[in-house]
Amino acid sequence: MVDDKKIVISLKKAATLIETIIKMEEDKKYCIDVMQQNLAAIGLLKSAHQMLLEKHLKSCFKKAMAAGSDTTKDRMIEEILKVTKLSQK
C-alpha cells in the first residue's frame, strides 16, 4: 500500500519549492534557474499524483470492482479515465 506520509511529503516539498520559484521570479533571477526549479516542482507533483492514483486503485477502485454494481463499476472506470486524461494535458 502507498504510504500517505510519502504523498504528504512530496506535496509539501512541491509547495515549498513553488514558494521559492515565486520568490525567484519576483527577484528576477536567471530564467533558466527558475525553469529548472519549476521542472523540479512538476516532478514532485507528478510523483505525488502517481502515488495518489496507486492508492486509489488499490483501495477505493478495488472495493468498487469487487462489490459494486455495474453502474458503480462504470462510474469508477469513468473517474479513472477522466483523471488520466487530465494528467496528460
Query: Which pTM was predicted?
Result: 0.87
Sign of CA dihedral 65, 71, 76, 82: positive
Look at residue 27 in the predicted model and tell me its pLDDT. 98
- Look at residue 14 in the predicted model and tell me its pLDDT: 98
Quick: pLDDT tens for 37-74.
999 999 999 999 999 999 999 999 999 999 878 999 99
Q: Residue 1: what pLDDT?
A: 73
Q: What is the pLDDT of residue 89?
A: 81
Determine the Cα–Cα distance for residues 68 and 48; give it in Å rounded to an integer.
27
Q: Can you list the domains of the chain with their CATH numbers?
A: 4-87 (1.20.58.1000)
Cell of 12: 509539501
